[in-house]
């Protein structure tokens, strides 16, 4: 049975209890740094930070509804080669799944990292978070986390969770070395912690927290939450399919794209060092634009927007974890997450694959299976004549 423990919450200050836990982790000799969301000293914002000073952890804010960047890509940079130290990385569930995919793609390593995952309370879209975060950061995070964990909901002050979070059916930290449980836990008094790997069990055992069973109310709370998320997700899939089911509709759906490629840059699992869309292949000659315009009478500029998104869909649908950073980064507010998740869900289901589920599960296009899609390749069909 996996090792479990209880972290006491003093004065109903959940965020402070989490910070004290992270300080205990960083205080271990084998841990060189903690990667965690941290309030910026110069601005009322929360961004990932690599922290080596215990005092700097006073500004750690892992419960904030800020999600400016998926930290999986940052962690891949920190781990792709030996760094000489071990990092404890505090990640959301979608960040863990994205990092697992990057490890499979040889873009990161698990040797020098301990992943600490939290039940995800969700996040606001960037623009909404910037508008909402006018209170002192500590008070804003406390207001948000209490509302979510007491069942009042995340919608407040005219903002709500991003569609990616409302459609996420994986709110718990599967794949973490140490998972921190919040849903179905009396977080005014305690936090529930579970070690899920030998690495996590070794570290948790050294921290000296009292052992504790899983709260009896937790499974039911998670079941209810996941059912709500799946219902929202399925409705989103239906709505997106209706809006994109023909090439004409898809062209309309993506008409506002300006080829900024922010979605590619923000995507944690889009890992190509050189994207074909920023090479000479799509650096068309001026005369080419004129020929297109003469042939059609008019040509939309910039060109290749539909081709760009179709290429990304073909490239990324087996690896998409639904984090929503593509939509977050879009300057024209295209509903990119909805499109990518809808396609990815069907693609991954066809292969019996879930991106980031297990590190030992090979991506669909990495291996040949003779008995896969016989209705397509014709294996087993009687020969003609």
Asked if pLDDT for residue 162 goes beyond 70, the answer is yes
Q: Is the pTM of this model over 0.95?
A: no
3-class state of residue 383 by DSSP? coil
Contacts of 332 (CB under 8 A, 6+ apart): 256, 257, 258
Domain match, 166 and 279 both: no
User: What crossing angle do the helices spanning 198-207 and 14-26 adopt, rounded to 10°?
Assistant: 100
Is 226 inside a domain boundary? no
Average of per-residue pLDDT across 92-111: 95
Q: What DSSP letter does each residue of 227-278 carry, written as one string? A: HHHHHHHHHHHHHHHHHHSSHHHHHHHTTT--S--HHHHH-TT---SS-GGG
What pLDDT is stored for residue 378 in this prediction?
A: 60
Is 381 inside a domain boundary? no
Domain match, 197 and 281 both: no
Res. 383 pLDDT band, cuts 50 70 90: low
Domain match, 34 and 163 both: yes
What pLDDT is stored for residue 384 in this prediction?
A: 53
Res. 382 pLDDT band, cuts 50 70 90: low
Is 265 inside a domain boundary? yes
Domain match, 209 and 255 both: no
Is 374 inside a domain boundary? no
Other residues' Cβ atoms within 10 Å of the Cβ of residue 135: 13
The whole domain housing 133 covers: 4-215
Contacts of 60 (CB under 8 A, 6+ apart): 18, 19, 22, 34, 36, 37, 38, 39, 51, 90
Average of per-residue pLDDT across 259-267: 94
Q: Residue 60 and residue 51: Cα distance in Å, rounded?
A: 9
Domain match, 57 and 173 both: yes
Domain match, 210 and 269 both: no
Q: Residue 92 and residue 115: Cα distance in Å, rounded?
A: 10
Q: Residue 66 and residue 75: Cα distance in Å, rounded?
A: 18
Asked if pLDDT for residue 329 goes beyond 70, the answer is yes
Is 225 inside a domain boundary? no
Asked if pLDDT for residue 1 goes beyond 70, the answer is no
pLDDT tens by residue, 334-369: 999 999 999 999 999 999 999 999 999 999 887 777
Average of per-residue pLDDT across 154-166: 93
Domain match, 282 and 333 both: yes
pLDDT tens by residue, 189-218: 999 999 999 999 999 999 989 899 999 999
3-class state of residue 18 by DSSP? helix
Is 124 or 284 the better-scoring residue by pLDDT?
124
Is 229 inside a domain boundary? no
What pLDDT is stored for residue 41 in this prediction?
A: 83
User: What letter does residue 318 receive in the DSSP assignment?
Assistant: T
What pLDDT is stored for residue 276 in this prediction?
A: 82
Portion of the chain with pLDDT greater than 90, in percent: 77
Domain boundary among 162, 185, 215: 215
pLDDT averaged over every residue in the chain: 92
Domain boundary among 161, 181, 215: 215
Is 12 or 280 the better-scoring residue by pLDDT?
12
CB-CB contact of 8 with 20 (8 Å): no
Domain match, 245 and 156 both: no
Q: What DSSP letter does each residue of 199-235 carry, written as one string? A: HHHHHHHHHTPEE-PPPTTHHHHHHHHHHHHHHHHHH
Is 305 or 115 the better-scoring residue by pLDDT?
115
Pairing of strands 178-181, 190-195: antiparallel
Asked if pLDDT for residue 158 goes beyond 70, the answer is yes
Is 221 inside a domain boundary? no
Domain match, 273 and 198 both: no
The number of domains in the chain is: 2
Domain match, 90 and 146 both: yes
What pLDDT is stored for residue 183 in this prediction?
A: 96
Domain match, 100 and 178 both: yes
Res. 283 pLDDT band, cuts 50 70 90: confident
Domain match, 209 and 240 both: no
Is 68 inside a domain boundary? yes
């Amino acid at each position: 049975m996996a090792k479990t423990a209880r972290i006491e919450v003093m004065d109903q200050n959940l965020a402070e209890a989490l910070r004290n836990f992270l300080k205990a982790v960083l205080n271990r000799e084998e841990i060189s740094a903690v990667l965690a969301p941290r309030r910026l000293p110069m601005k009322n914002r929360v961004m990932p930070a690599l922290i080596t000073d215990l005092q700097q952890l006073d500004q750690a804010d892992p419960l904030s509804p800020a999600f400016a960047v998926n930290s999986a890509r940052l962690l891949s940079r920190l781990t792709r080669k030996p760094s000489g130290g071990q990092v404890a990385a505090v990640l959301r569930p979608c960040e863990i799944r994205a990092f697992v995919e990057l490890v499979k793609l040889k873009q990161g390593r698990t040797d020098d990292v301990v992943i600490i995952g939290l039940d995800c309370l969700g996040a606001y879209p960037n623009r909404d978070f910037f508008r909402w975060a006018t209170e002192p950061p500590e008070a804003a995070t406390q207001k948000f986390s209490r509302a979510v964990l007491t069942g009042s909901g995340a919608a407040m002050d005219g903002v709500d969770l991003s569609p990616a979070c409302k459609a996420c059916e994986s709110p718990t930290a599967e794949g973490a070395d140490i998972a921190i449980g919040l849903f179905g836990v009396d977080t005014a008094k305690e936090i529930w912690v579970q070690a899920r790997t030998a690495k996590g069990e070794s570290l948790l055992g050294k921290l000296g927290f009292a052992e504790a069973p899983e709260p009896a109310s937790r499974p039911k709370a998670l079941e209810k939450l996941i059912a709500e998320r799946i219902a929202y997700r399925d409705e989103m899939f239906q709505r997106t399919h209706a809006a994109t089911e023909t090439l004409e509709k898809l062209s309309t759906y993506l008409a506002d794209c300006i080829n900024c490629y922010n979605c590619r840059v923000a995507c944690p699992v889009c890992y190509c060092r050189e994207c074909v869309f920023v090479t000479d292949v799509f650096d068309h000659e001026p005369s080419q634009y004129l020929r297109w315009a003469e042939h059609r009478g008019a040509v939309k500029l910039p060109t290749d927007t539909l081709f760009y998104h179709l290429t990304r869909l073909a490239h990324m649908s087996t690896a998409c974890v639904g984090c929503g950073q593509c939509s977050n980064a879009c300057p024209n507010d295209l509903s990119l997450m909805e499109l990518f998740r809808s396609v990815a869900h069907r693609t991954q289901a066809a292969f019996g694959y879930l991106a980031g589920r297990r590190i030992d599960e090979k991506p669909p296009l990495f291996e040949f299976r003779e008995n896969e899609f016989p209705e397509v390749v014709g294996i087993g069909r009687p020969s003609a004549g």
